[in-house]
Each structure stands twice: as structure tokens, then as C-alpha cells.
């Protein structure tokens, strides 16, 4: 089982937020908790200094209480009260919302240590705080120790709501016990010979933590709003210069990605300088994890003169918009390719399965997509596995992009990723321990197989792209091979699917990037340059002369010509 964990970003130092968090803009569009979808997905607002961070502790405590692992009465050292579903956060500021999840995640990572401190210092046995508030104690204790047990600055002469007064009461209890709490922590470090509490984590988790806090910024060019030439001119006028590789990124520099033609990569701390260009504000550049961009780009060689693309799984509004932009770019810059005229491509749509979204969330998603220039997107109110393969709305669907929920074992910054890409918040506990549980993995794999098998059942679909951010074979090649085997046993009259090597235009330029290609699979390894992902492209076999002609005309010379034109167009 692969262990991994998020970068450590505590709410310490009077809640000042880091530059890395500022470069994390995308809002999940089906999450029950904000950030909301109605905001620019490339924009993270500054926190409101008039807001009371006490609400952040309450939200973090609720997240922690519902995510912490129940050990059973015989092994449960500390009670945290009854769990209840977190449907909305109390704080409305997006930065504070992120802080709440980060604080809860850090408390989950060090839950065992925090419980030892509370017990060995006699804080828990003193019964100063009821069990219902012990989750609040846990998150505040983590923050307190991270501030070296120093009291935080608090707004003076302000009336507090009763619930925030609870935060003040718990904090006062911790401060009265701070000498004993600090001594208990010191004994713990001495006992385990730890230079810092981070040393308690496995080496693989610490490495992942370090990677997550230093990943470069990946942005894709929104060709629905601008062109690569315009973006490069704006960057040049702002003092940015192009370098040849990610390793050379420093200061005001950027480079092109080696796999996705519309991706530009910037240094970790470049968000503030990018903000000054207005490219993010105007939605001409969109910040998004590279692993989320690989799936949409795996579709582009297979885009034919007509037919729709259907998306299903776990993704943000940005992924939908990126897919729409790739279709638009292909249509715009391949008008001289036979049988790929403007009229054909302009009719292509992106159909998005939003069966688990509320009506409000669907409206917000549509609003965000409209603001990004997407006019070729249609929302389907069903989940993929509930759709009838003969549904008349889907008769033009020829390509499916499937990005199901997964273990995120290839992601170094899981909290940020979960918030950006509509991830499963129930994974927080597993991710905080560096490994997904066997029961959770079994559930994920079952859902992945179900959705992939259903995707192969649409009679007019000729290509299915399976894309997830996992390192585990159980979720990757094992799922794909298992579904293909089951499909062969169905005795269906439909032509079977086979694996085809994923094609990326600049793969031949790849030098030193952590990429592994085995047979017909593509794997981007987790590294200092990006999170990882796994890709499989399944294509329907053709046998008749008619279908063979269509396949050849669309996928062989057309694919080559599209790559040539796009490479020329996107070359800096």
C-alpha cells in the first residue's frame, strides 16, 4: 500500500496564509462545502480581516470529528462525541475554508500524538471540556503546539457569538495547561528521539509532504478566451522569460509542458506576479494540477469531425472547461484537414454527468462554465452508471472521459486536490495516515469497474479514456484488464474494445521527466515536478470495410495532421 500525505500548512503565526495556498484557486463544484463554484476558478480571494478565525476552529473541529477513526470502545482513549455530516462550513471566506480543512487534516495526521499529550498531561482526565468539544481541543492543541504554545492575537473589544465564545473557553483551558502540555510533548519527543514532530511520519510521507509544498504552478491557456500568442506577449511585457525545462524555473520564468501543448509551467512562488498580469482574473490562464489536464489531452488525437464527448467521475469545472477548450482549439486550428471542417467541430458538445449535484450546484457549474467562455457544454442530471446506453440524448457520444474517485495515492497535496477537484472528503482519514484502507480501496475499485464497464456499453462510443491519480495497480491496470475480460465474456454483438497507447504530441521531447509507459498504459509518476496519474485509452475494434475507412481517415492521417498543426500552433 502506498503511503502519502499532504504538505503541512498549519494555521499558525496569527493565521497568515502561505504563497503556495494562494496558488490554489479551483473550487470544487459538487462539494457540500465551499469554496463555491460561482467564483473565478483561477482566483483565490484575500481573507477578510474582519472575520473571526474562531469559526475556522469550529469548522476544523467538525471535519476532524467526522473524519477521525473510531477505534472501538476497548481502544478509544478519547471520546469525541457523535459524528454528524458536515454539509456547510460556518466561515464563508474561501481562504478560511481552506484553512479549516488543512487544520483538520494536520490534526488527523498527528491524532495519536495529540491524544497522548492530552492524556499524559492529565488534561483529558481533568474533565475541563466535555467529550462533545474534544475535537475542538484536538485541532486547537495542534495549532497551539505549532505556535510553540504562544497565545495567538485576538480581536479586542468585540462581542462574540456564543459558539465562538466556546472557542475562547477551550483556548483558555489549553493555555492554563500549556506548561503540562508542552512537557508532555517534550517527553514524547525525547522518548522517540525526535528532532521535530514531523520525524514521527514515515520517510515516504515526509517526502510527499515536502513535494506537496513545492510543486510548480501549472496553467492551461483558455483558448476560448485568448490565444497562446496573446498570453506569451502579456507574459513578456510583464517581465517573464521562457526557459527550456522545469528544472530551470526561477523568478519570472515559465516553460512549456512536455505532454500537454496548452500547459505553461511557472515557479512555485509565481502566483503573485501572475496576478499582476490579469491573465488569471480574465480567465485566459487557468491554474490546475497537471494530473487533471492529462485526461482531456488524451482525448484530442481521437476527436473526429462529429460526435460528442461525455465526461463522468470526479472533476472540477476547470476540467470541463479545459475539455471544451481543447475541442475548440482542435476545430479552430485544423480547418485545413479533410473532413474536419468548422461546421462539424462547432457541433461537438461536452456532455457532463452531474447526477450527484444539487440543482444549486448545477446552476453554479453552468455559471462558471459560461464565464469561462464555454458554449458547447450540456449537463446531464444523471450519474453515468444510471444512464441507459440507448438514451436518445447520447446517440452522438463517441468519446468518454472517465475520471472516477480514487485513492489519490499519486497526489502529494491531497487536501488541496480534494478541494479543487471535487474529491471524496471521506478520504481525509485514510490520506492522513498515508494509506487507504482495504475496505475503502475495495469500494473504490468496485465503483471504478462499474463505471468503466458501463462506459464500454454505449454502442456508438469508439474511445474511452480512463484517468485517475493513483499509484495502486488495483485501481489502474487491474481495473482496466478486469473490465476488458468481463466485456469479452458478455457475448455482446458490439465490437470489443482494445487498449491503445495514449498519445501526447511532445512525448518525444521528454527528457528526465518521471514518466513510465508500459505496454498500452501511460503513467506519470509522482515527483517534485507534478502529481502523478494513470491513463488508459480503450478503443473499439472495427472490422467492416466501411468502419475501417472511417477509422483510418479519422485516427491515422488526421491524428498525425492534428498533432503537426497543434504542435506548430502551440510552439513558443
d(CA 412, CA 197): 19
Q: Which of 103-117, 151-165, 409-423, 529-543 has the lowest mean pLDDT?
A: 151-165
132-146, 164-178, 385-399, 551-565: least confident range: 551-565
Does pLDDT of 520 surpass 80?
yes
For residues 478-496, average pLDDT? 90
Q: What confidence category does residue 10 fall into, taking pLDDT thresholds of 50, 70 and 90?
A: very low
pLDDT digits (tens, 9 = 90+) for 94-133: 788 889 999 999 999 999 999 999 999 999 999 999 999 9
Predicted local confidence at residue 158, as pLDDT: 59
**48-62, 172-186, 371-385, 530-544: least confident range:** 48-62
Region of poorest pLDDT, from 298-307, 382-391, 536-545: 536-545
pLDDT mean over 135-143 = 96
156: helix, strand or coil: coil
Q: Is 511 marked as binding a ligand? A: no
Calpha distance 440→437 (Å, rounded): 5
Average pLDDT along the chain: 82
Would you say domain 290-570 falls under CATH 2.40.160.40? no
Q: Each residue of 492-520: b (16+ CB within 10 Å) or e?
A: eebeebebeebbbbbeeeeeebebeeeeb
**pLDDT mean over 426-436:** 88
The predicted structure's pLDDT at residue 328? 87
- Strands 463-468 vs 397-403: parallel, antiparallel or unpaired: parallel
CATH superfamily of 215-287: Sun protein; domain 3 (3.30.70.1170)
Helix axes 178-192, 111-120, angle to 10 degrees: 120
What does pTM read for this prediction? 0.83
pLDDT digits (tens, 9 = 90+) for 322-368: 999 999 888 776 433 333 334 444 578 999 999 988 787 788 889 99
Predicted confidence band of residue 511 (pLDDT cuts 50, 70, 90)? very low
Q: What is the pLDDT of residue 32?
A: 36
**469 catalytically annotated:** yes
> Which one of the listed residues 469, 507, 543, 558 is annotated catalytic?
469
For residues 547-569, give the mean pLDDT: 46
Check residue 330 and give its pLDDT.
82
- Does pLDDT of 299 surpass 80? yes
**Domain-wise residue ranges, the chain:** 12-210, 215-287, 290-570
User: In the beta sheet, which residues pair with residue 287?
Assistant: 219
73: confidence class by pLDDT, cuts 50, 70, 90: low
Amino acid at each position: 500500500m502506498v503511503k502519502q500525505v499532504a504538505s503541512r500548512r498549519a494555521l499558525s503565526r496569527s493565521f497568515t496564509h502561505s504563497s503556495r495556498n494562494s496558488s490554489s484557486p479551483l473550487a470544487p463544484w459538487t462539494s457540500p462545502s465551499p469554496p463555491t463554484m460561482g467564483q473565478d476558478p483561477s482566483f483565490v480571494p484575500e481573507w477578510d480581516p474582519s472575520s473571526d478565525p474562531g469559526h475556522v476552529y469550529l469548522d476544523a473541529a467538525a471535519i476532524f470529528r467526522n473524519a477521525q477513526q473510531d477505534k472501538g470502545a476497548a481502544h478509544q482513549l478519547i471520546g469525541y462525541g457523535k459524528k454528524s455530516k458536515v454539509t456547510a462550513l460556518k466561515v464563508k471566506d474561501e481562504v478560511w475554508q481552506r484553512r479549516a480543512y488543512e487544520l483538520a487534516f494536520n490534526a488527523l495526521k498527528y491524532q495519536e500524538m495529540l491524544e497522548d499529550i492530552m492524556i499524559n498531561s492529565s488534561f483529558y482526565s481533568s474533565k475541563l471540556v466535555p467529550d462533545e468539544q474534544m475535537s475542538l481541543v484536538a485541532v486547537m492543541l495542534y495549532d497551539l503546539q505549532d505556535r510553540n504554545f504562544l497565545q495567538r492575537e485576538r480581536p479586542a473589544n468585540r462581542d462574540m457569538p456564543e459558539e465562538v465564545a466556546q472557542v475562547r473557553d477551550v483556548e483558555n483551558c489549553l493555555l492554563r495547561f500549556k506548561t503540562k502540555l508542552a512537557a508532555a510533548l517534550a517527553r514524547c519527543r525525547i522518548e522517540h528521539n525526535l528532532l521535530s514532530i514531523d520525524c514521527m511520519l514515515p520517510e515516504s510521507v515526509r517526502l510527499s509532504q515536502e513535494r506537496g509544498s513545492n510543486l510548480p504552478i501549472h496553467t492551461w491557456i483558455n483558448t476560448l478566451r485568448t490565444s497562446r500568442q496573446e498570453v506569451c506577449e502579456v507574459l513578456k511585457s510583464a517581465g517573464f522569460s521562457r526557459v527550456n525545462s522545469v528544472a530551470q524555473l526561477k523568478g519570472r520564468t515559465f516553460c512549456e509542458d512536455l505532454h500537454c501543448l496548452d500547459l505553461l509551467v511557472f515557479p512555485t512562488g509565481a502566483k503573485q506576479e501572475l496576478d499582476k498580469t490579469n491573465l488569471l482574473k480574465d480567465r485566459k490562464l487557468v491554474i490546475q494540477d497537471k494530473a487533471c489536464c492529462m485526461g482531456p489531452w488524451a482525448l484530442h488525437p481521437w476527436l473526429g469531425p462529429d460526435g460528442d464527448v461525455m465526461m463522468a467521475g470526479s472533476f472540477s469545472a476547470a476540467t470541463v472547461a479545459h475539455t471544451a477548450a481543447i475541442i475548440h482549439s482542435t476545430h479552430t486550428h485544423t480547418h485545413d484537414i479533410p473532413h474536419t471542417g468548422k461546421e462539424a467541430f462547432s457541433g461537438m458538445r461536452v456532455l457532463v454527468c452531474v447526477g450527484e449535484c444539487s440543482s444549486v450546484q448545477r446552476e453554479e457549474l453552468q455559471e462558471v462554465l459560461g464565464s469561462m467562455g464555454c458554449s458547447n457544454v450540456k449537463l446531464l442530471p444523471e450519474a453515468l452508471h444510471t444512464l441507459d446506453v440507448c438514451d436518445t440524448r447520447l446517440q452522438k457520444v463517441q468519446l468518454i472521459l472517465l475520471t472516477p474517485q480514487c485513492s489519490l495515492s499519486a497526489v502529494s497535496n491531497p487536501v488541496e486536490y480534494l478541494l479543487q477537484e471535487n474529491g471524496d472528503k471521506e478520504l481525509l482519514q485514510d490520506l492522513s495516515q498515508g494509506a487507504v484502507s482495504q475496505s475503502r480501496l475495495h469500494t473504490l475499485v468496485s465503483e471504478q469497474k462499474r463505471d468503466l464497464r458501463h462506459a464500454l456499453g454505449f454502442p456508438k462510443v469508439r474511445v474511452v479514456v480512463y484517468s485517475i491519480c493513483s499509484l495502486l495497480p488495483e485501481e489502474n491496470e487491474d481495473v482496466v484488464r478486469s473490465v476488458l475480460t468481463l466485456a469479452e465474456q458478455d457475448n455482446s454483438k458490439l465490437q470489443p474494445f482494445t487498449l491503445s497507447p495514449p498519445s501526447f504530441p511532445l512525448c518525444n521531447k521528454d527528457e528526465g521527466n518521471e514518466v513510465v509507459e508500459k505496454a498500452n498504459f501511460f503513467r506519470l509518476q509522482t515527483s517534485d515536478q507534478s502529481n502523478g496519474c494513470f491513463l488508459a485509452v480503450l478503443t473499439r475494434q472495427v472490422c467492416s470495410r466501411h468502419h475501417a475507412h472511417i477509422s483510418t481517415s479519422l485516427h491515422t492521417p488526421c491524428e498525425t495532421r492534428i498533432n503537426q498543426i497543434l504542435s506548430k500552433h502551440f510552439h513558443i
